Structure 1
Amino acid sequence: MDAIKGILFDKDGTLLDYDESWLPVNRELARIASDGDAALADRLLSACGMDPVTGHIVPDSLLAAGNTRQIAEGLVAAGSSLDVSDLTVRLDDLFAHAADFSVPVTDLSAFFSRLHARGFRLGVASSDNERSIRQTAARFGFTQYVDYIAGYDSGFGSKPEAGMVLGFCAATGLQPSEVAVVGDNNHDLHMGRNAKAGVTVAVLTGTGSRESLAAASDYCLNDITELEGLLPDLQLA
């Protein structure tokens, strides 16, 4: 294995605690898609992967791993009367504003600063829209440490395709084998595998479990802070 020189992070469930950041957003998403019909909203949540009573998210479901367009299509297929394109726009706006209420896993400014100081090239690749990622980076103070940001609408394709990883490599001059991909669901990990990334790292702050993430991850960590202890070994690989 080549020494790891770059790290590409997922956002939701990886940098941000999924339950604390997204369960209220998912309920609002269903309210919008159902046009205020509470019974329909619950059915839409169930169809897209969230238990409307407990808030549990099914690993790798639409709400866990889909991009905005895919979620909108799933909501319409499950009974929303809205137009897919209109719903996509409304959900993108909702997700962009969600950055104001999201809860980070750790002090992200300090975390990214430490990784940057150790010489890593850093990026964020999310199934969310690029505007939301940039707002998150600005809110939590790590914009200056990031070399690359890609959302589903940035032109690199969508997860689990390899495009976002290859875009990171093009932006940083790294080879895929020099990159660690870090995420909370199999879309992230399969993206890394499809790009032939050097390492795939799963974290448990999102919608995946140790069991659901085992097959596609080289390492499974409780959260991103444990990555710092792992990296010295990967840098010397």
Structure 2
Amino acid sequence: MSGPAQDHRVDGILFDKDGTLFDFHATWSVWAHGVISELAENDASVMQQLADVADYDLALRRFRPTSPIIAGTNREAAECLARALPRRAVDEIEIYLMQSAARAPLAPAVPLVPFLDGLARAGLRLGVMTNDTEHGARAHLGAAGVAGHFHFIAGFDSGHGAKPSPAPLLAFATAMALDPARIAMVGDSTHDLMAGRAAGMQTIGVLTGPAQEADLAPLADAVFPDIGHITGWLGA
């Protein structure tokens, strides 16, 4: 990809993290099984109760697309799991999830360094906005060796709010001094794309999360198998 950024469709790209930069099931469905087992202290009955409230298939070791945890914040995930752990405080579960998630096994959706290098050479401003914690986002991007590629990294707890609110997306636009219409919001969930539409941004859906193309297409300007296809879209 070559040429100045103004030759492309956008001047900036804001990425979701989980299910977008990193394959959702290979990362989070694997992680979740260990979390459920540890929180349940290997009690099969409690594991099933946790799986039920999380809408997680223990046999397949995968989140179902209807899981409330998929697009929720870390706090919302803790509140969800607390329903099956009446003796555990929500705050305690939230801290555990934050610390555990920061160590989750990472499965990038595409080789991230060359992909992001290409976007940087085009002069694009890059950001990440996730409903995970900012601590978790920075830990994951750092572990993947790409934290330095992003000009903006925010979580639900960074002071801008959480998706599907457009506020954290507009915070990126403000920080980068960009017109929201010249930014693409890229994500794997309807939360991501709803936020992008509400912010007046272009929207790109990717299929490396639990959602299907039929879920994302009504809210997206384009839907791709993974973020690697964005390079071609930019120059189209």
TM-score norm. by structure 2 comes to: 0.91
Matched, 1:40 2:46: yes
How many residues are treated as equivalent by the alignment? 229
1:104-143 equivalence runs, <5 A? 104-143=108-147
**Which residue in the other structure is 1:178 paired with?**
182
Residue ranges of structure 1 left out of the alignment (5+ in a row): none
Matched, 1:208 2:211: yes
Which deviates more, 118-127 or 41-50?
A: 41-50
1:93-108 equivalence runs, <5 A? 93-98=99-104, 101-108=105-112
Partners of 1:61 and 1:91 lie apart in 2 by 16
Partners of 1:40 and 1:168 lie apart in 2 by 41
Partner-residue secondary structure (3-state), 1:226:
helix
Once the two structures are TM-superposed, the CA of residue 79 in structure 1 deviates from its matched residue by 4.5
Partner-residue secondary structure (3-state), 2:69:
helix
Cα separation, partners in 2 of 1:82 and 1:42, compared to 1, 3 Å: same
Partner-residue secondary structure (3-state), 1:14:
coil
Q: CA RMSD in A?
A: 1.7
Contact 1:30 1:45 in 2 (8 A): yes
Partners of 1:33 and 1:130 lie apart in 2 by 23
* Aligned with 2:57 (options 47, 51, 72): 51
Once the two structures are TM-superposed, the CA of residue 76 in structure 1 deviates from its matched residue by 1.5
Once the two structures are TM-superposed, the CA of residue 118 in structure 1 deviates from its matched residue by 0.5
Residues 60-93 of structure 1: per-residue CA shift (max 9 Å, x gap): 5322111110011111224453111111011100
TM-score norm. by structure 1 comes to: 0.91
**Which residue in the other structure is 1:164 paired with?**
168
Identity %: 34
Partner-residue secondary structure (3-state), 1:220:
strand
Once the two structures are TM-superposed, the CA of residue 144 in structure 1 deviates from its matched residue by 2.2
Amino acid in structure 2 at the alignment position of 1:220:
V
Partners of 2:61 and 2:214 lie apart in 1 by 20
**Which residue in the other structure is 1:73 paired with?**
79
Residues 23-59 of structure 1: per-residue CA shift (max 9 Å, x gap): 2211122234434322222221232222111234233
Amino acid in structure 1 at the alignment position of 2:73:
N
Contact 2:46 2:84 in 1 (8 A): no
* Aligned with 2:231 (options 186, 206, 228): 228
Matched, 1:194 2:194: no
Residue ranges of structure 2 left out of the alignment (5+ in a row): 1-7
Amino acid in structure 2 at the alignment position of 1:207:
P
